């Protein structure tokens, strides 16, 4: 009987109140229980795409799942991987991570943290000028 209301209240506290609080005061965020570790060291220069997939295809997919708000790198890679599977593109999560890193290095998107640590870094679209 109270499940929907309680769930909505919990979501509001977590996604609205705490998000704003942690953004303004990052030191208040509780420490992550998972030790940060590198998930992939593949660089875009080392990637060899299949003939049926272009760099433009990868970029289009990545930018289609990016948000203007910060999102975990792991989430963006996961959403992009899902989109690749929907389109029947044979692309791995490591290839997507390598391209995401290259786009950040080229200043086409904003990033914070070491993008090789997918769960401990974030990316977002560049704010409109």
Query: Are residues 51 and 6 part of one domain?
Result: no
Give the model's pLDDT for residue 129.
44
Q: In this predicted model, what pLDDT tens digit does every residue of 25-40 receive, in sequence order? A: 877 877 777 777 888 9
Domain harbouring 49, CATH code? 1.10.10.10
Q: Name the pTM for this structure.
A: 0.73
Query: What confidence category does residue 127 fall into, taking pLDDT thresholds of 50, 70 and 90?
Result: confident
Number of domains in the chain: 2
Query: Are residues 25 and 78 part of one domain?
Result: no
Which residue is associated with the tokens 């930018």? 63
Classified as helix, coil or strand, 71 is strand
Residue 24: give the domain boundaries: 1-30
Q: In this predicted model, what pLDDT tens digit does every residue of 49-95 receive, in sequence order? A: 999 999 999 999 999 999 999 999 999 999 999 999 999 999 999 99
Whether 69 and 89 have beta carbons less than 8 Å apart is answered as: no
């Amino acid at each position: 009987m109270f499940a929907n209301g309680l769930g909505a209240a919990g979501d509001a506290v977590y996604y609205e109140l705490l998000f704003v609080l942690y953004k303004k005061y990052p030191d208040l965020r509780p420490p992550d229980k998972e030790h940060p570790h590198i998930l992939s060291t593949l660089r875009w220069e080392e990637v060899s795409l299949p003939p049926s997939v272009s760099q433009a295809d990868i970029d289009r997919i990545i930018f289609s799942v990016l948000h203007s708000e910060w999102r975990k790198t792991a989430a963006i890679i996961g959403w992009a991987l899902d989109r690749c599977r929907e389109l029947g593109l044979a692309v791995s999560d490591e290839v997507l991570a390598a391209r995401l890193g290259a786009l950040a290095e080229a200043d086409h998107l904003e990033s914070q943290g070491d993008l090789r640590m997918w769960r401990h870094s974030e990316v977002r679209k560049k704010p409109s000028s």
